Amino acid sequence: MNAPAQSSARNPFGGEKNRLRSADQDRILACAHDLGNGLVQSDFHVPGMHCAGCLRKIEKGLENLEFVDAARANLSTRRVTVSWRPDAASGVALSDALTDLGFENTLFDLGDFAGDGGDKTAKRLALAVAAAGFGAANIMLLSVSVWSGADETTRQLFHLISGLIAVPVVAYSGRPFFASALGALRVGRLNMDVPISLAVLLALGMSLYESLTGGEYVYFDASVTLLFFLLIGRTLDHMMREKARGAITRLSRLAAKGAFVLEADGTSRYVPLSDIEPAMTVLVPAGERIPVDGTVGKGSSDLDRSLVTGESLPVPIGVGDAVEAGTLNLTGPLELRVTKTAANSFLAEIVSMMEAAEQGKATFSRIADRAAAIYAPAVHLVALATFIGWMAFGSGDWHTALLVAISVLIITCPCALGLAVPIVHVVAANRLMKHGIMIKDGAALEKLCDVDTIVFDKTGTLTMGTPRVADQIGSCDSGTAGAIAALASQSTHPAAKAVAAHFGDNTTTRTVTEVREVPGSGISALIDGREARLGRAAWAFGILEEPEKTANVAEGMDGGDVVFACRDGSAIGFALKDRLRPAASETVKALTADGIKLMILSGDNERAVADIARSLGIDDYRSGQTPADKIRTVEALQADGRHVLMLGDGINDAPALAAGHVSMAPSTGSDVGRLAADLVFMNERLDVIPFTRDIALRTDRLVKQNFALAVLYNCIAVPLAVFGFATPLIAAIAMSASSIAVVANSMRLSLGTRFAIDSTSLDGSDSKSRYLKRPVSGPAPKPTAEQPA
């Protein structure tokens, strides 16, 4: 199978490979951190590492190189950090060494380092948890002594020490809540942090006053323990979100953030995307994405436009044709004359459409905020009523009345309410992440519960986006099959890959020489010395000595289908079809059974869309849709009061994704698509949709149960507090008990669901991803293309 491939002698750009490598060196150096002492630090993304053996192999392998000072692999982020001496060797050697060790790798671009800001928040939260934990433990130690009956002076000493610990701890650990509460109040709204902050501060203030005046009851333990519990919930929530965000951004880091610009003197250099100007000439090797809009100046190729327009089949392009940023150059190197800067390109237009759609959307108020808006005023009214009641009917002494009123506020502090949502969401996000579904926005799960309409894109969303051989016209023996497989494996064109996969189990070894890839036509080579072609029908038939023998094959051929022909033999046709995602029809059935309206919006041609729609049983479909059409349809549906879940992968879907009530995108899609979506799934299977919806509905149910538990707790605790029985001990027991009940209830989400999906095809790295760029420099160059004569 792995026949030696011989590169063609002629190269349209002459010496292209060496120039690219020297430019790669520039790119690596440009992205490196200077550590001083002649050392620099480079980061590589290595998606393939997954165990202790890989870590060790990479670190040992790199450290054995003379010019490498140290190498450290991070399994969580799949990143390898290397410090090395740039004067002793080239950075390309590092990438080559990693490739030789068996790990595909890409360089981290300059901008990637800026994205680590989220880490700091996580650290700040962890420090706040630690401080609150320290405070809670020590204050509790002193409080327990008081509750077990410490006498007058000892009690006062313990109260004062507790206060000394509590004040700095609350001031430090409470900041996340105070900041959020202030932010909400400033815009005239109430969120859950308002009653929380108020209770914590009131408890602290009242306890300070009491301990200084020798009072009996102080609530330092309540206020600090409360912060501790709530901070744990918040930190877990943040870490979860950060993990999901990291997994998603890791996908986009594989895309190029610059391009090779051809200078007037014939040399090329790597230029960041933002510095590329119109009229520059950009080199795009086969297998890379087009970085900016332009016209082809030299070369020809096939272009995979599926992410941009939704067309499922690659289109041939030649000199003078316009190409859009974001399309994938498949078969031949291209020289592009840039027509627009990156900031004005097609992609930028899409981004501005996305922003417009985002702004047009009604603001969604989260369930916790809605609950807080009812809860906070209610609690404050009860406290006020308590104060008035004690003044009127109680002792009439304002000090006692105030103490009781504050104790009502403390005991009703929504500790359980504050945990009700984040804990369930953490469990849900964890569960989804195990199945390769990342939640970008916490509100997404709440929004999913309202969904009554699902709009699908076709190419890459309902389908895999890669064609498969659906039918073989004409038979072949195993020898011919081996020859076809050997030839097909020489190309990265999706059609050739489909044919190669079709004969995947054929292991006949063939010698393939003089491989030529002819853009727009196909691939030709000498197989064991016999000339053979695989490609478009008319071109492949061209070499046949007796074409009349293959009339039956020619009849059955369609535009996108390919033919294998051997000069002295016969021809075999392969009908290609995009294949549906696994479990697509089950998904459609399950969703229809749940009463959800389904719809397809595709940029592809009528026939391809109708075909898919019919095979899935979706009646409502539209073909030939532009991004503007898609957004209009989604907005019209929502204007009718429907809640749309938009699913799409392409650049053309991005505005509709932003417009939808909630949106999902596959990880194999475009950067912009993933950016616009609320959820990203790395699973191939389409039943992630009912699964996610099921989890969302259960999350909603559990959140509501948690609220009910919190209300029940208040029904018991509030009367106690109102009548003045809420001693610090009772408050501590009641508040902890309610928090534990809520957390325990939330854990139930990790138990079974109605849908079980297969998680075997998962890997955060998704090695089959269409987005995986070739390594910075591979050791085995693909056969370079030759211009058609």
Partner 1 sequence: MTNLLLLIPVALGLGLLGLIAFVWSLKSGQYDDLDGAAARILEDDNI
Q: Is 682 in the site for partner 1 (CB under 8 A)?
A: no
| Side chain identity, residue 762 | L
Residue 79 CB, shortest distance to partner 1, in Å, is 9
| Side chain identity, residue 212 | L
For residues 161 and 201, which CB has a smaller minimum distance to partner 1 in the complex?
161
Q: Is 52 in the site for partner 1 (CB under 8 A)?
A: yes
Query: From residue 347, how far is each of 289, 307, 326, 354 by CA, in Å?
Result: 13, 11, 7, 11
Residue 207 CB, shortest distance to partner 1, in Å, is 18
Q: Show the binding pattern over residues 516-555: x = contacts partner 1 (CB under 8 A), - = does not.
A: ----------------------------------------
Residue 119 CB, shortest distance to partner 1, in Å, is 8
Tell me phi and psi for residue 487, to 5 degrees: -70, -45
For residues 131 and 401, which CB has a smaller minimum distance to partner 1 in the complex?
131
Q: Is 56 in the site for partner 1 (CB under 8 A)?
A: yes
Among positions 412-451, residues that touch partner 1 (CB under 8 A) are none
Q: How many CB atoms neighbour CB 325 within 10 A? A: 21
For residues 71 and 401, which CB has a smaller minimum distance to partner 1 in the complex?
71
Among positions 124-163, residues that touch partner 1 (CB under 8 A) are 126-127, 130-131, 134, 137-138, 141, 154, 157, 161
For residues 174 and 195, which CB has a smaller minimum distance to partner 1 in the complex?
174
Residue 174 CB, shortest distance to partner 1, in Å, is 17
Give the integer Cα–Cα distance in Å for 151 and 145.
10
Phi-psi category of 660—alpha, beta or left, where left has phi over 0 and alpha has psi -120 to 50? beta
- Scored b (16 or more CB within 10 A) or e, 202-215 reads bbbebbbebbeeeb
Tell me phi and psi for residue 380, to 5 degrees: -70, -35
Give the integer Cα–Cα distance in Å for 279 and 405.
74
The half-sphere exposure of 711 on its side-chain side, counting CA atoms within 13 A, is 11
Residue 418 CB, shortest distance to partner 1, in Å, is 24
The single residue among 4, 36, 51, 752 that binds partner 1, judged by CB under 8 A, is 51
How would DSSP label each residue in 554-600? HHT--TT-EEEEETTS-EEEEEEEEEEPTTHHHHHHHHHHTT-EEEE
How would DSSP label each residue in 268-318? EEEEEGGG--TT-EEEE-TTSB--S-EEEEE--EEEE-HHHH--SS-EEE-
Residue 42 CB, shortest distance to partner 1, in Å, is 18
Nearest to 91 by CA among 10, 27, 185: 27
For residues 214 and 396, which CB has a smaller minimum distance to partner 1 in the complex?
214
Residue 130 CB, shortest distance to partner 1, in Å, is 5
For residues 120 and 186, which CB has a smaller minimum distance to partner 1 in the complex?
120
Give the integer Cα–Cα distance in Å for 412 and 720.
11
DSSP 8-state symbol, 785: P
**Identified catalytic residue from 457, 653, 700, 766:** 457
For residues 20 and 165, which CB has a smaller minimum distance to partner 1 in the complex?
165
Nearest to 431 by CA among 71, 691, 742: 691
**Encoded tokens for 142:** 């002193």
Q: Is 766 a catalytic residue?
A: no
Q: How many CB atoms neighbour CB 606 within 10 A? A: 12
**Is residue 95 within 8 Å of residue 44, measured between CB atoms?**
yes
Residue 759 CB, shortest distance to partner 1, in Å, is 17
The helix (run of H) or strand (run of E) holding residue 535 is strand 530-535
Total of chain residues touching partner 1, rule CB under 8 A: 22
For residues 43 and 604, which CB has a smaller minimum distance to partner 1 in the complex?
43
Residue 142 CB, shortest distance to partner 1, in Å, is 8
Residue 629 CB, shortest distance to partner 1, in Å, is 44
Residue 395 CB, shortest distance to partner 1, in Å, is 35
For residues 161 and 501, which CB has a smaller minimum distance to partner 1 in the complex?
161
The half-sphere exposure of 180 on its side-chain side, counting CA atoms within 13 A, is 15
Q: Show the binding pattern over residues 60-99: x = contacts partner 1 (CB under 8 A), - = does not.
A: -------------xxxxx----------------------
Give the integer Cα–Cα distance in Å for 62 and 54.
12
Query: From residue 764, how far is each of 74, 434, 591, 769 by CA, in Å?
Result: 14, 10, 27, 10
Query: From residue 348, how far is each of 288, 353, 651, 667 by CA, in Å?
Result: 20, 9, 11, 21
For residues 5 and 126, which CB has a smaller minimum distance to partner 1 in the complex?
126
Q: Is 9 exposed, middle or buried (0-12, 13-18, 19+ CB in 10 A)?
A: exposed
Residue 154 CB, shortest distance to partner 1, in Å, is 7
Give the integer Cα–Cα distance in Å for 359 and 350.
14
Query: From residue 642, how far is each of 371, 450, 590, 634 by CA, in Å?
Result: 24, 9, 19, 9
For residues 151 and 545, which CB has a smaller minimum distance to partner 1 in the complex?
151
**Integer-rounded Cα radius of gyration of the chain:** 32
For residues 130 and 388, which CB has a smaller minimum distance to partner 1 in the complex?
130
**Residues labelled catalytic:** 457
Residues near partner 1 (CB under 8 A) are: 51-52, 55-56, 73-77, 123, 126-127, 130-131, 134, 137-138, 141, 154, 157, 161, 165
